[in-house]
Structure 1
Amino acid sequence: MLELVKAGGWPMLPLLLLSAVALAIIVERFWALRRKAVLPPGLGAEVRAWAARGTLDPAHIESLRGTSPLGALLAAALDVRNRPREEIRERVEDVGRHVAHRMERYLNALGTIAAAGPLLGLFGTVVGMIQMFLGVMDHGVGDVSQLAGGIGKALVCAAAGMVVAVPALMFHRHFRARIDGHIVQMEHEAIALMDVIDPRNRRGAQVQAPVQG
């Protein structure tokens, strides 16, 4: 590996830097976007039970907000639980956009690396070809080692650019799909909670309670 890096010359340095940054982003996003970190098991049902019993206070809601992205979304609904359903929905949508933005952190950088990798590889290829032709001008076509060195640098840089870009692109798409799946699940949990805290539903339950008794 070290010999390949040396063969690629100085254009390999930014490619190595990009690969290190991409690896750091991939590891961090894998950890941050774990399902149990975003959608803790049973949290939605537990919050709905709290809301149905009316055992909610500001400290309780604030604690829920800090548990996870799902907790932040449900806490936003509970903040305005006594307002009409449309206002609750608007608050959930507003907070949901902020939550989605936080989950997408660093993904733009990963996408940029995926796009920049081949370009840097192409740049290294051009540098290698220029070096090769300058060698031909100075020494003629008889110096095979000079030609081989220029072609080798061009090929190594092109390959390195693709090696950096392909995994970055794959993980970028993977994380986008994972975030989309998480958002769908969070929307489902938020709608279920709104059904519980909807003032119209609570009034209906209060009216029906004496009849059922």
Structure 2
Amino acid sequence: MLELLLSGTIFLWIIFACSVLAVGITLERWQTMRQADGDSDALITDVEEAIEQGDLDGAIGICEEAGGPVAETLGVGLRKLRFLEGVGKTPEEIEKGIVAAMEEHGGHVVHFLERNLTALATVASMAPILGMLGTVVGMIMAFGSIHSSGNLSGEAVAGGISEALLCTAGGLIVAAIATCAFNYFTTRVSRFVLQIQAAGTEMLEALLQARASADRTA
């Protein structure tokens, strides 16, 4: 084991393990994001129409059928509305309760979407460090071997350096892949957050307008 460590080969295996981890996380997060994606504009339009018609259960059903983080968050707000109206809360308390419920659920959604991204960022930062460390150790051992054997030819020196630099190349490749994937997924998460906030605001405005219309009619 000590010989394997000093030769720098173990660093290549660690970097390879990091690459497998990065690819696994990338595929898993991509599948999750793909399933979570949806047409939020069409969703909020359908929900607003149901609210305008006074069909709260229908609006909740639309959210349940659509699925995804935006629909789930709106559904939480609508169910909170139904509950608070059922216990006779004031309009101000209902509005605050809806906002609090959607914010809390939105936080859980973001946490779910960001799952494993910390590990991906760790791979992106550690892979080049491991590569450089493997290269340094490999070059130390290569020059030590050349010195011990007394073979100072250019071929021997170049061969030792070439083998050592494989660690650096491997680490940089893994880091590049992990960094691109991390940036892509964090951008997707940010987009989901904006969609949730916008949809929640639009739904709340629709609820307020529907309540105002009902008060005028009454």
Higher mean C-alpha displacement, 133-142 vs 15-24: 133-142
Q: Judging changes above 3 Å, is the alpha-carbon distance between structure 1 residues 48 and 202 closer, same or farther for their aligned structure 2 residues?
A: closer
Higher mean C-alpha displacement, 153-162 vs 76-85: 76-85
The answer to whether structure 1 residue 22 and structure 2 residue 22 are counterparts is yes
Q: CA RMSD in A?
A: 2.8
Show the counterpart of 1:51. 51
Q: Read off the aligned partner of 1:165 and give its amino acid letter.
A: A
Tell me, in whole angstroms, the C-alpha distance in 2 between the residues paired with 1:143 and 1:135: 12
What's the CA shift for 1:65? 8.2
SS of the residue corresponding to residue 11 of structure 1 reads helix
User: Does structure 2 retain, via aligned residues, the 8 Å contact 1:117–1:162?
Assistant: yes
SS of the residue corresponding to residue 10 of structure 1 reads helix
Show the counterpart of 1:123. 133
Q: Judging changes above 3 Å, is the alpha-carbon distance between structure 1 residues 65 and 118 closer, same or farther for their aligned structure 2 residues?
A: farther
Show the counterpart of 2:185. 175
Give the total of aligned pairs. Answer: 201
The answer to whether structure 1 residue 84 and structure 2 residue 94 are counterparts is yes
Return the TM-score normalized by structure 2.
0.79
Return the TM-score normalized by structure 1.
0.81
SS of the residue corresponding to residue 10 of structure 2 reads coil
Q: 1:209 aligns with which of 195, 207, 217?
A: 217
User: Does structure 2 retain, via aligned residues, the 8 Å contact 1:114–1:165?
Assistant: yes
Show the counterpart of 1:164. 174
Q: Name structure 1 gaps, 5 residues minimum.
A: 1-6
SS of the residue corresponding to residue 55 of structure 2 reads coil
Structure with a larger share of its residues in helix: 2
Q: Judging changes above 3 Å, is the alpha-carbon distance between structure 1 residues 79 and 65 closer, same or farther for their aligned structure 2 residues?
A: farther
What percentage of aligned pairs have identical amino acids? Answer: 28
User: Does structure 1 retain, via aligned residues, the 8 Å contact 2:43–2:66?
Assistant: no
User: Does structure 2 retain, via aligned residues, the 8 Å contact 1:8–1:152?
Assistant: no
Q: Read off the aligned partner of 2:215 and give its amino acid letter.
A: V
Q: Name structure 2 gaps, 5 residues minimum.
A: 1-6, 86-92
Tell me, in whole angstroms, the C-alpha distance in 2 between the residues paired with 1:107 and 1:61: 32
What's the CA shift for 1:207? 3.2
What's the CA shift for 1:181? 1.5
